[in-house]
Chains A and B, each alone.
Chain A
Amino acid sequence: MIRLQNISFDHCIKCTVCTVYCPVARATHHFPGPKQSGPDTERLRIKSPELLDESLKYCTNCKRCEIACPSNVKIADIIQSSKWRYFKKSLRPRDFFLAHTDLMGSVATRASLLVNFFIKLPPVKLFLDLFFRIPSERRFPKYARGSFLAWYKKHRAEQEAFAERAVYFPGCYVNYNNHELGKDVVTVLNAMNIGVIVSYEKCCGVPLIANGYIGRARKNALLNINSLAASAAESGARIISASSSCSFALKHEYRNLLELDNSAIFDSLDYITRFIHERFLKGNLPELKPVRLRAAYHSPCHLERMGGVMNTIEVLKKIPGLDLTILHSECCGIAGTYGFKKEYYRVSQKVGAELFKRIERADPQIVITDCETCKWQIEMSTPYRVEHPVTVLARSIDGGKL
């Protein structure tokens, strides 16, 4: 049955440009391209859902097809919604664990030392490779001790004392793996005289959606919408996130893909560099100490799609001493949980090969990017270290070493 949201395929005039710019079609013959997988075959699937091609699964949802499309066809959305509408849900334990980050996170942070130790061991990696089909080349991000939310609770009072406040949605990565980034957000905002109200209910849902757990994703989304709306209303604040993927999901995937009403938070949502840049322009510019590094900036696919790469670049440009190269926009290939699956690993690496080459040619001291999964991918596939723009900005504020 036809959902109204999906009829953007109607605008497709078959110009083939999307297929030219699809990094997956370029990397593997298994994927015939976004035009064929999306608007072309959607017309057939409406008639007979059995005319479903396995090749759809190769789509990484990088959305570069939508960026290239001159006809405003939401090609990637069409492919994603076809995936979970027509394919049977995966019953693989691997996919379950990769998708349910809250579950994994809350368990792992309680025994982080142990988990981090085991997950690096070659025999464990081999086991995961053979029995769970998680490629042994993959490195898992370290788990932190306890959750970021717990840390925040100890500092809540002082944050609430600020006259102006912003609601911060940390996402799984900050909450379970990298508290330092969350603390950097606090550092930066406090330096701009803005307090941080951390509001975290559930994972934004990106890995759940990618693995077909739509029911769970919707539940999470509704909880998030309600809790964020409540926090924002309380402090009259904007809602920010430092993860480009979480931001994209909260703002766009919730309404376009999950078909939920997120109007309560839509207008208040900002990706963090837009929030910061707007205030810089209005004169709220904290004192910035030089950070003398040669850096290369990689723009994540979801940030390109959402718009706002410009903001990150402008914010970075304000940091004195930073020798910034903007890398040509390329997909890194990891596509969230996609790169953790053995059957897609080679494609994932082939997709990112162009980016890795460019980084090596630029030979920076650090790579900067807004997306945590891009960070894992680049750190695994190149010898370079990757940091979030907010982290670099935080060091520029507190003078610490990067």
Chain B
Amino acid sequence: MRRIETEAIVIGGGATGAGTLRDLSLRGVRAVLIEKSDIASGTTGRNHGLLHSGARYAVNDLESARECISENRILKKIARHCIEDTGGLFVTLPEDDPSYHGKLIEHCRYAGIRCEEIGVREALRMEPNLNPEILSALRVPDGTIDPFRLTSANVLDAQERGASVFTHTEVEEILRDGDRAAGVRCRDRLTGEKIEIYAGIIVNASGVWGQRLSASAGIELRMFPSKGSMLIIDYRINNIVVNRCRVPSDGDIIVPGDTVSLIGTTSKKVDYDRIDEITVDDDEIATLLESGEKLIPSVSRARVLRAYCGVRPLIAVSGEMDGREISRGIVLIDHEKRDAVGGLITIAGGKLMTYRLMAEMAADLACAKLKAGKKCRTHRTPLPGSERRVDQARSVKFFTGIPNSVVGSTLYRHGHRIRNILHREKRNYGLICECEMVTEGEIEYALKKLNVRDIVDLRRRTRIGMGPCQGQLCAYRAAGLFVKYDSATSDESNKMLVDFLEERWKGIKPVLWGDALREVEFGYWIYQGLFGLGDVRFEEEAEKR
């Protein structure tokens, strides 16, 4: 069995885990990240990508609100290329309680969040697709953030500074050395290989899966999973975040994100045993469509691309409460103090927005325990891709000969790193995913540099398969490129093609009507009718590379 010695282990490749890995690496600590699936495949990849101004929490949770606005400002500097500073609105509809409007203004002031009242006409000018019946509008510094890009950039930075990353690798057991957690034994789920890693400190950043993980170390960590569902509309029906100005409830936000818009969310309790089997229910879809339409009427005519759900990583510190009202506060647990198990800390709770702060807290504690490492620099150091403000006009000029839409899309996803990706070479800028303008060059870059082990991983790094066709044309092409660039054998490629299509299917199923059904019929005709992919018999064991 392979054995690795390092200083720190981070379990969990969501934003928090990736952020912690990066923070430790910036402090000069050697660290290893272990993630059972792919980065940002848990809660990080299943939220609405809102870069909170904090206004949503201002009325009920002042502390969270303050954390939000402070991190909001930091992220806008260090993660520039992952963020779109769209601005946000809080709108009051005729049936809403008008007093909430005043409360919001007041509490935002306490929290230090700029909250400006604007006229209805001005709001409609800013966002023409808004429901014209709104009574009032408040403007806040909301934005949107791409969680995949963010997590990937953190991981890339950490790796460039010497960290190691193991994706598709599951921790089977936390290895104990007396009253200390000394390391982990894990298994690569794709190859079957087992690895033992030893470190001075283990950071559990596995989010809602932490309960299971800690149990293997004999520690009780109670999670309170709450499912939230979202609908994706296949194009951007709004350019500014639209919030409903009322007590937070189901379906009160529509967030634009890259080329789509997202209607969110709902809140349903879910048993811990079922956190890996959650699905979107029909009543949730109906609620989201109904409330979405109230904010932006054209929702009723738009094509719903897919529906997905994520589990909120709420950690029950005490008692039992309704999912939405538990504070989304950050929880940092030193298991030496709480459970007499040394060498293990847990960082949990919080939200995507505050990942960097959570990582800082975890890294601070980890370094204190290791008695090593310098001070935190993550708030000052831009992530790869955000090193410099990207100038679209200049990039377009630099890449003359390549269509603007292609340059613009690649720039949008990778920021300053575009120079490593696009070249004025025909093979490089040929399009593979035509919906989202993903070039062969971008895929090559992802395969070689961004820990991509299958097409689903590739999707997270490049947006391939996230457009209207949901992979119908590009999935086969992507599978072929894995073989072309020696990132997979032909057999593995065939298998990952099936896996990718099944993964896309999970999110399309719940909304299978109208154009989504037509698209699926078309895709199924191609992949099963024409290609016979469903008839391919795979080898019993995975081929070792």
Contact = CB atoms under 8 A, between A and B. Distances in A.
The answer to A–B direct touch (Cβ < 8 A) is yes
Given A9-B235, A10-B303, A15-B522, A44 B409 contact: yes
B234 A52 contact: no
Contacts of B404: 50-54
Nearest to B84: A47
Interface stretch (B153-161, B269-277, B464-472, B485-493): B464-472
Given A7-B302, A10-B515, A14-B472, A46 B408 contact: no
B241 to A, nearest CB: 14
Interface residues of A, number: 32
A44 B129 CA distance: 17
A10 B518 contact: no
A16 B469 CA distance: 12
B437 A44 contact: yes
Interface in B206-248: 234-237, 239
A358 B239 CA distance: 50
Nearest to A53: B403
B403 A40 contact: no
A43 interface: yes
Nearest to A4: B298
Contacts of B515: 10-11, 13, 71
A46 B518 contact: no
A7 B301 contact: yes
A47 B435 CA distance: 14
Contacts of A364: none
A40 B518 contact: no
Contacts of B403: 32, 53, 55
- Give the secondary structure class of A's interface: helix
Contact of A51 (B301, B408, B468, B522): B408
A50 B408 contact: yes
A150 interface: no
B522 A1 contact: no
B409 A1 contact: no
Contact of B473 (A4, A14, A53): A14
Interface string A311-333: 00000000000000000000000
Contact of A41 (B234, B236, B405): B405
A35 interface: yes
B85 interface: no
A47 B405 contact: no
Contact of A14 (B258, B392, B435): B435
Contacts of A35: 434
A344 B355 CA distance: 54
Interface string A147-181: 00000000000000000000000000000000000
A15 B467 CA distance: 14
A40 B435 contact: yes
Contacts of A51: 404-405, 408-409
Given A40-B434, A46-B235, A1 B303 contact: no
B518 A71 contact: yes
Interface in A12-62: 12-16, 32, 35-36, 39-48, 50-55
A296 B437 CA distance: 44
A145 B70 CA distance: 76
A2 interface: yes
Interface of A: 1-2, 4, 7, 9-16, 32, 35-36, 39-48, 50-55, 71
Given A7-B235, A32-B403, 11 more contacts: A13-B515, A13-B519, A14-B434, A14-B519, A41-B437, A44-B437, A45-B405, A47-B259, A50-B404, A54-B404, A71-B518
6 contacts: A10-B468, A13-B519, A15-B522, A43-B234, A44-B409, A71-B515
* 9 nearest CB pairs, A to B: A51-B408, A14-B469, A10-B303, A53-B403, A51-B405, A1-B128, A13-B519, A43-B259, A41-B405
